Structure 1
Amino acid sequence: MRLPRSGAGWTIAVFGVLALLLGALGLLWPEVQLRMLGFEVPDRRAAGDYTGTFLTASSMASFNMGVYYLLAVATEWRAFYRFTVVFRLVTCTVFTLTVLADVAPGQFLGVALWEGLGAVATALGLRWDARRAGRDRPATTGVVDGPAAVVTVDGPESVTNPQVTDAAAGPAAAGPGSAAGTDR
C-alpha cells in the first residue's frame, strides 16, 4: 500500500490502522479490550450476558472500518474524509453523553476524545490541503504562443476540451477544443 498523499490522508491512515489493530485485539483478546475501556471482566458471565457477543461484533466492525479507512487513503477519496469528520463528531457527542448519563465508565471518555480529536485533525488536514493546493495551482488562464492564443482551463470540462481563443478571430477559430463556426 502506498503512503498517504495529503495531510488529511495521514489522519485517516492513522485512524484506519488503529481501528484495524484495536478490532483485531478485541477479536483475539477481548478481556484486554474490556479492561482498556474500563469495563469489569468477571471470571464468569451470568446467563443472558452477551458482552462477549457484543464485543465480537464491535471488534469486527472496528476491524472492517480500519480496512475501509485504509482503502480511502489508497484511493485518496476526499469525500470520504469529509464524511468522517461529521460522523466522528457525532460519535464523540454520543459517547460523551453515554459517560455523562452513567451508562459507561469514565475511561470510555477516552474513546469520545479520540473520535473528537480525530475529526478535528482530519478537518484541519483537509483545510491545510486545500490551502496548499491553492498555492500550488497554476493561474486559471494562461498565454500560449504569444498574445494571440489564450487557453481557458476553468472547470472540469477544460481537461478534456480546453477552450482556445484566437485574440483576433474569437472562440470560433480553429484549434484544439474548438470547431470552426461553432459557439461554445
Structure 2
Amino acid sequence: MRLPRSGAGWTIAVFGVLAVLLGALGLVWPEAQLRMLGFEVPATRAPGDYTGTFLTASSMASFNMGVYYLLAVATEWRAFYRFTVVFRLVTFTVFTLTVLADVAPDRFIGVALWEGAGAVATALGLRFDARRSAGGGGSAPNSTPSQVSGVSGGATSRAAAAGPATAAGTDR
C-alpha cells in the first residue's frame, strides 16, 4: 500500500484505516463497540432482539467501506474524495437528527461530529491540493497538463496526455 500523495488523500486514508479497525472491533468484540457508542449491553438478549445481527452487518459494512477508502487512496481517485464530502455531510445531518430526536443516545453525537469533521477536512484538503497545483507547485496528482492549466485540448490530446495506464477523460 502506498502512502497518500495529497492532503485530501491523507484525510481519506485516516478515515479508511479507522473504518477498517472499528469494523473489525465490531466483528470481534461487539459489546465494546456498543459501549463506545453509548448503547446499553444487557446480560442477555430477548427473543427477537437482532442487535447482534445488525451490529455484525454494520461492522462488516464499516470494514468494507474502509477498504474502499484505502483503495481510493492507493489510486488517488479524486472524484471519490469529492463524493465522500457530500455524503459524509448527509451522514452528519442524519446522525445529528437521530440524536436530537432521542432515537440514539447523546454519545452517538460523536459519530455525527466525526463524519462532519471528516467531510470538512477532506473538502479543505481538496481545496489545498487544488491551490497548490494551480500555484505552480507542481501538477495535481493524476492530472494531465491541460487539466492543470485549464486548457482543454479535446479527446485526442487528453488521451495522449493520460498515457496508457488511464482511460482518457476519466476523473480519478
Q: Would the TM-score normalized by the shorter structure come out above 0.5? A: yes
Residue 154 of structure 1 aligns to which amino acid in structure 2? V
**Helix, strand or coil at the partner of 1:40:** coil
Describe how 1:108-127 pairs up with structure 2 within 5 A.
108-127=108-127
Describe how 1:36-75 pairs up with structure 2 within 5 A.
36-75=36-75
User: Counterpart of 2:104?
Assistant: 104
2:63 and 2:71 map into 1 onto residues whose CA distance is: 13
1:78 and 1:153 map into 2 onto residues whose CA distance is: 17
Indicate the structure whose relative CO is greater, using CA pairs within 8 Å and at least 6 residues apart: 2
Q: TM-score, structure 2 length as denominator?
A: 0.82
Q: TM-score, structure 1 length as denominator?
A: 0.77
Q: 1:18 to 1:54 in 2, by over 3 A?
A: same
1:33 and 1:24 map into 2 onto residues whose CA distance is: 10
**Can you give the 5+ residue segments of structure 1 that lack an aligned partner in the other structure?**
142-151, 162-184
**Over the residues paired in the alignment, what is the CA RMSD in angstroms?**
2.0
> Which consecutive aligned stretches of 4+ in structure 1 deviate over 6 angstroms post-superposition?
none
User: Counterpart of 2:84?
Assistant: 84
**Helix, strand or coil at the partner of 1:24:** helix
1:84 and 1:64 map into 2 onto residues whose CA distance is: 15
Q: Summarize deviations over 1:23-62 as a string: whole Å, max 9, x none.
A: 0000000000000000000000001000000000000000
1:62 and 1:38 map into 2 onto residues whose CA distance is: 18
2:82 and 2:124 map into 1 onto residues whose CA distance is: 11
Q: 1:12 to 1:153 in 2, by over 3 A?
A: closer
User: Counterpart of 2:166?
Assistant: none
2:37 and 2:115 map into 1 onto residues whose CA distance is: 14
User: Counterpart of 2:152?
Assistant: 155
Return the index of the structure with the highest Cα Rg: 1
1:127 and 1:106 map into 2 onto residues whose CA distance is: 33
Shift of 1:135: 1.1
Task: Provide the identity percentage.
Answer: 81
When the two structures are aligned, how many residues end up with a matched partner? 150
- Bigger strand share: 1
**Can you give the 5+ residue segments of structure 2 that lack an aligned partner in the other structure?**
140-144, 162-172
Matched, 1:22 2:19: no
